[in-house]
Amino acid sequence: MASPTRETPAKSRPRQKRGEGQWALGYREPLNPNERSKKDDNPLNARARIENIYARGGFDSIDPGDLRGRFRWFGLYTQRKEGIDGGRTATLEPEELDARYFMMRVRLDGGMLTTQQLAVLAEISQTHARGTADITDRQNIQYHWIRIEDVPTIWQKLENAGMTTMEACGDSPRVILGSPVAGIAADEIIDGTPAIEEIKRRYIGDPQYANLPRKFKTAVSGQADVAHEIHDVAFVGVNHPEHGPGFDVWVGGGLSTNPMIGQRLGAWVPRDEVPDVWEGVISVFRDYGYRRLRSRARIKFLVKDWGAAKFREVLEEKYLKRPLLDGPAPEVPPAPIDHVGVHRQVDGKFYVGAAPVAGRVNGETLLAVAKAAERAGSARVRLTPQQKLVVLDVPESEVPGLETELAELGLHTKPSPWRRSVMACTGLEFCKLAIVETKARALALVTDLEKRLADVQGDLENPVSVHLNGCPNSCARIQTADIGLKGQIVTDADGRQVEGFQVHLGGGLGLDAGFGRKLRGHKVVADELVDYVERVVRAYLDGREPGERFAQW
Ligand code: SF4
């Protein structure tokens, strides 16, 4: 034992850097309970237990490790118990917040649906989900009130129609966003659909990619309509001066508490190589991603530390075993693309985009949309990353009739700027993490703003986007909205603790790519939200220079 006098004083001893839990550096032992749970049993094995044990034994038969962890790999979360206010969210144990029902997410890669599939989704909603069926901003359908006893039957119905909940949530490769108008849009550079389908066919449900450090979000689109800047990996259509249409690769974007814009690798990839490159990127993440802390586990932290050049080097040398071709950056669209309205397709038919409020629809509406689309000669519907839906392939003569039918369902093809630009996450109604209510509040906000701001509606060349989150997570992408609203408990004028929002102003994607500023003290009580938004919008319209967008103002 060394003499105390000869020891280096603790103050001047170089501090040993703790590892980040990267598998590639030898950290194979789990460093937190989530990692332990995934190592104990591959989450994909939970399906057999749902089918063979839990669906028969009911809610009380479910192993807690499956209930609060592995079920997510099949799109299942317990939903929030009714009647617990948001102020108590952080004070209760998870089981105290549990209803004995589930939220179920159906992954719809690229938002692609046939009208027959839409009818199946509608039937499941009406039979098993009390009519619920929200369109999420990741092109999924989300049900509520699902009983564990019904899950195998629902899976069977989905799978018979070519749909799945596999890896809809969890530390896995989740739904792949794609352009809702892939293959038919006049301004698309390349159709990303074959790449999306091939990634899904090869890798979704593969145990090799089912234990990632954290969730992994992908976007593939021939045009900039899928929020590619905030994905773990994104492939965006670009014309290479020598090789023609292909994809520009972005990595390391993401929102939540440490939002980051993705970085370009500067590489051009032809469409048939997209699945290989995707596999390389997800493998880098699996092997080098930080598994010690959940809060640092997304790929964005690795990309931030390494930088795009080192990431590309590791990807090429260790995983692809070949260099990628350099390529140009994609063009930035002059305004956000949401596909609402009536647009001519390359084949002369039309696509018709319609806006519900903040993605809130139901089984009855979805069935009616499927029938209306078929009556108009269409067999294809798409969900969008803006919580909208689009009917494809409509002959010109059928467009007016379809627009009328959709409007009768509350799905407007010429919506007000507010109906068009308000988005909201699930919120307090069903989400166990929520602090405030969002969906009903979004509806009230749209209705009130349509009345109060009717006089200036025509002055808004680009709608001012308003996104509502029920908690500090960012399921509704608040940092990329003109007015982003992060749910929290705030103090009202009488000193009471009430539901409210921290405001973020001036975020955007595309031309305005950047995160909204969190203004110190800019908090709004939920009951005064419409007053606040009205004030901000009027101040913008009064104070802007000609042509100045909200994010520039
Ligand atoms: Fe739930 Fe928060 Fe996500 Fe909203 S942002 S759905 S409240 S986790």
CA of 438 to the centre of ligand 1 (A): 9
pLDDT at 12: 53
Between the CA of 73 and the centroid of ligand 1 the distance, in Å, is 18
- Which ligand 1 atom lies nearest to the CA of residue 474? 5
- For residues 41-67, give the mean pLDDT: 96
Q: For a substitution probing ligand 1, which of 142, 387, 431 has the most ligand atoms within 8 Å of its CB? A: 431
How far apart (Å, rounded) are the C-alpha atoms in residues 276 and 159?
Answer: 26
Q: Is the pLDDT of residue 335 over 80?
A: no
> How many other CB atoms are there within 10 angstroms of residue 282's CB atom?
24
Q: How far is the CA of 471 from the centre of ligand 1 (A)?
A: 5
Cα 68 from chain centre: 21
Query: pLDDT of 145-196, one tens digit each?
Result: 999 999 999 999 999 999 999 999 999 999 999 999 999 999 899 999 999 9
What is the rounded CA–CA span in Å between residue 23 and residue 189?
Answer: 38
Ligand 1 atom closest to 438 (CA): 4
CB distance 110 to 193 below 8 Å = yes
Mean pLDDT across the chain = 93
Task: Determine the distance separating the centroid of ligand 1 and the alpha carbon of 141, expressed in angstroms.
Answer: 16
Kindly give, in sequence order, each residue whose CB lies less than 8 Å from that of residue 540, ignoring residues fewer than 6 positions away: 464, 550, 553
Are 354 and 386 in contact, with CB atoms under 8 Å apart?
Answer: no
Out of 23-37, 124-138, 414-428, 509-523, which region has the weakest mean confidence (pLDDT)? 509-523
Cβ of 434 less than 6 Å from ligand 1: yes
Q: Give the per-residue pLDDT at 2.
A: 37
Nearest to 150 by CA among 165, 170, 132, 128: 128
Q: Which residue has the higher pLDDT, 458 or 272?
A: 272
Give one DSSP letter per residue of 309-337, joined into a string: HHHHHHIIIIIISSPPEE-PPPPPPSS--
Please list, in sequence order, all residues whose beta carbon lies within 8 angstroms of the beta carbon of residue 378, skipping any fewer than 6 positions away: 115, 391, 392, 393, 394, 402
Closest CA to 484 of 422, 547, 530: 422
Query: Residue 22, SS3?
Result: coil
358 lines ligand 1 (CB under 6 A): no
Residue 338 token pair: 């949401």
Phi and psi, residue 498, nearest 5°: -135, 170
Is 389 touching ligand 1 by the criterion CB < 6 Å?
A: no
Q: Report the pLDDT value the prediction gives residue 7, as an integer from 0 to 100.
A: 41
Q: Is 484 in the pocket of ligand 1 (CB under 6 A)?
A: no
Cα separation, 84 vs 517, whole angstroms = 31
Looking at residues 528-553, what average pLDDT do you find?
Answer: 89
For ligand 1, whether the C-beta of 426 sits within 6 Å is yes
430 token code pair: 């069903």
**4 pLDDT higher than 80:** no
Residue 122 scores a pLDDT above 80:
yes
Q: Rounded to the nearest whole angstrom, what is the distance from the C-alpha of residue 402 to the centroid of ligand 1?
A: 34
Pocket of ligand 1, candidates 433, 486, 504: which has the most ligand atoms within 8 Å of its Cβ, to mutate?
Answer: 433
Mean pLDDT of 74-90: 91
Mean pLDDT along residues 2-25: 62
Question: Kind of pairing, strands 466-469 and 422-424?
Answer: parallel
Mean pLDDT of 325-331: 95
Distance (angstroms) between ligand 1 centre and the Cα of 468 equals: 9
The letter for the amino acid at 347 is: D
427 Cβ below 6 A of ligand 1: yes
Q: Could you tell me if the CB of 469 is within 6 A of ligand 1?
A: yes
Confidence of residue 60 (pLDDT cuts 50, 70, 90): very high
**Ligand 1 midpoint to CA 91 (Å):** 17
Residue 363 has pLDDT above 70, yes or no: yes
The span from the CA of 447 to the CA of 360, in Å, is 14
Distance 444 CA to ligand 1 centre (A): 19
Query: What is the per-residue pLDDT for 95?
Result: 85
Residue 475 beta carbon below 6 angstroms from any ligand 1 atom = yes
| pLDDT tens for each residue of 482-507 | 999 999 999 999 999 999 999 999 88
Please report the atom of ligand 1 found closest to the CA of residue 431.
1
- The verdict on the CB of residue 425 being under 6 Å from ligand 1 is yes
Give the model's pLDDT for residue 457. 83
Ligand 1: centre distance to CA 433 (Å): 6
pLDDT per position as a tens digit, 382-398: 999 999 999 999 999 99
Range from 110-119, 275-284, 332-341, 354-363 carrying the lowest mean pLDDT:
332-341
